[in-house]
Structure 1
C-alpha cells in the first residue's frame, strides 16, 4: 500500500528536521514553497496547510532578517518537536524492570467529547487498553503523557500511576491483549517495504561513487527528498508502537529492523539533505 504524505505533515517534518533556528527566526515562505515543491506539493497546498498550522497556534508569522515574510515555530510547537525527538531518535532498548504507567480516567457524561479526546490522545501517545477507563504504557512515557494532558487541559479527569504487572497472566500474554500487535507489526512491514530499498540504493550509490569517481551518483536534493519522506513516515511509528521490551515481543518482531533502517537513513541523509536546504533558508 502506498504511503500517504500530507502537505501539513510534510511541513511539520520539514520544520522538525531543518527549521528549528536557534534564534527562533522564521523560515521564509518562499523557502517553504520551494522545498515542498521538491516533494510534489504545490504552492496553494503549502499556503493552506500553513494557515491551518497557524490557526492551531503552531506557526507564528514574522519577518526574516532580510525582511521576507516567514513563519516561526511557537513555543508549543517547539515543545512538541522536542518531545517527538525523544521518541523518533531513541536508540535505547527498553527494560521490563522499568515498569508501567497507568492512566485511569473518568469523564462526566455531560463532557463526553472530552472522553473521546482523552482516549484519542492516549492512543496517539502509545497507550494500550488494560480495561475500560484504564490505559497502560511503558513507564518512560510518563513525563510526555503528563505534559500532553496538561497542555490539552485533560489532567483533571485522569489519575496517573506507576507500577509492575504482577499477574495473573504472563505479561507477554497480557501485552497481546493490551495492544494490537499484528496491526503494529503491519505498520513496520509497510515502512520497511518502502524505505529498506531506499537504504540499499543509497548504500550502493555511495559505494560505487567512491573517492575516485567523477561525482556522486545521488545529489543533496536526492538526500533531502528521501530523508524528509522517511522522517515523515517514521515519526508516526514510535507513537503507534510503544516500543515494548524485547522479551514481550515475538522473535521476528519487525520493529527492530525498521528502527535500524531509519537510524541508518538518518545517519546517511540528514546532513546531506541540509546542504540542499541551507541556501533556501539563507535567501530569506
Structure 2
C-alpha cells in the first residue's frame, strides 16, 4: 500500500462522512498505524493537491486539506461499488463510449485505467461499455483531453456474451475465491480490542478489496456466471468490515478529536 492510496481510502471511507476535511496532524495520526511516517504523509498530500484531489483549507485545529468536488465524485463512485449502495436494477441497456481518436500511449494507459475504475470494459481500441453511465466520465475524458461519443442502447446479441468479451469473468471469479482464502485467516485474527490495530487491519483489507474496482464493473446478476464467487467474497468483506467498524470508528474519531 502506498501513502497516496491509503490517503484516498481514509478520505473515502472515513472523512467523507465526517465533513471531508482534516488537519495535516490528524492525517499523520490516521496513517501512522499503517507504518507511514509524517514526511511520507506530507509528500502524499502535496502530490494529491497538485493532482486536484485535495485543496488546502484552514480548520479550527490548524492547516488542513479538504476534498475537491472532483475527489468527492470519484470517491462516491468508488464507495457505491465497494459497499454496493447503488440500486442493482438494470434496464437492459449498455452505456457505450466511442473515443473519437486514440490518445498517445501514456495518456491512453491512464485513460484505460480510469475507465476501468469507473466500470467500463473495452470491446476494442476505441469502444468501451458499462452496465450504467458514470457521473465521472466527463471529468476523466477532460483530464486526458479526449473527445468521445456516448449513448445508451440495447445489444442485439446476447448480453452475457457481450459481458464476457469486455471482462475476463473466469479469471475474476478465481481471484475472488483466492481473496477469501487468503484473507479469512488474516482478518479473523483481528478482534477489535485495539482500535489502532483494527483500523490498520481494516484499511489493508479495504485496500486489497478495492483492487477489484479496476476489474469488476458490478454487472447485474443475470449477466454473471452461475455460483458467482464474487457474491460470497462481497458478503465476506461486508461481514468483517462491519465487525471491525466500532473499533475503527473509535480510532478515527480519537485521531480527529485531538486537534
TM class by shorter chain equals: 0.7 to 0.9
Structure 2, unmatched stretches of 5+, are none
Question: For residue 119 of structure 1, what is the aligned residue in structure 2?
Answer: 112
User: How far does the alpha carbon of each residue in 1:205-251 deviate from its partner, in whole angstroms, 9 at most, with x for none?
Assistant: 5xxxxxxxxxxx72222322222222222233234201222333222
Question: For residue 134 of structure 1, what is the aligned residue in structure 2?
Answer: 127
Query: CA–CA distance in 2 between the matches of 1:145 and 1:20?
Result: 17
Residue 77 of structure 1 and its aligned partner are, at CA, apart by: 1.7
Question: Is the counterpart of residue 163 in structure 1 residue 156 in structure 2?
Answer: no
Question: Is the counterpart of residue 62 in structure 1 residue 57 in structure 2?
Answer: yes
Structure 1, unmatched stretches of 5+, are 206-216
Distance 1:92 1:150, change over 3 A: closer
Query: CA–CA distance in 2 between the matches of 1:108 and 1:19?
Result: 37
Question: For residue 135 of structure 2, what is the aligned residue in structure 1?
Answer: 144
Residue 260 of structure 1 and its aligned partner are, at CA, apart by: 0.8
Query: CA–CA distance in 2 between the matches of 1:76 and 1:160?
Result: 21
Distance 1:124 1:280, change over 3 A: closer
Question: For residue 40 of structure 2, what is the aligned residue in structure 1?
Answer: 45
Question: Is the counterpart of residue 220 in structure 1 residue 195 in structure 2?
Answer: yes
Residue 173 of structure 1 and its aligned partner are, at CA, apart by: 2.9
Query: CA–CA distance in 2 between the matches of 1:82 and 1:175?
Result: 24
Distance 1:53 1:78, change over 3 A: same
User: Equivalent residue of 2:122, what SS?
Assistant: strand
> Is this contact kept in 2: 1:107–1:114, CA < 8 A?
no
Question: Is the counterpart of residue 193 in structure 1 residue 181 in structure 2?
Answer: yes
Residue 262 of structure 1 and its aligned partner are, at CA, apart by: 1.8
TM-score (norm 1): 0.78
Corresponding residue pairs, total: 259
> Is this contact kept in 2: 1:89–1:263, CA < 8 A?
yes
> Is this contact kept in 1: 2:193–2:247, CA < 8 A?
no
- What are the equivalent positions in structure 2 for 1:172-251 lying under 5 Å apart? 172-201=160-189, 205=191, 218-251=193-226
Distance 1:58 1:102, change over 3 A: same
> Is this contact kept in 2: 1:61–1:71, CA < 8 A?
yes
TM-score (norm 2): 0.85
Q: Mean alpha-carbon deviation: is it higher for 254-263 or for 182-191? A: 182-191
State which structure, 1 or 2, has the greater radius of gyration over its C-alpha atoms: 1
Residue 14 of structure 1 and its aligned partner are, at CA, apart by: 0.9
Question: For residue 255 of structure 2, what is the aligned residue in structure 1?
Answer: 280
Question: Is the counterpart of residue 77 in structure 1 residue 62 in structure 2?
Answer: no
Query: CA–CA distance in 2 between the matches of 1:65 and 1:145?
Result: 32
Query: CA–CA distance in 2 between the matches of 1:231 and 1:42?
Result: 20
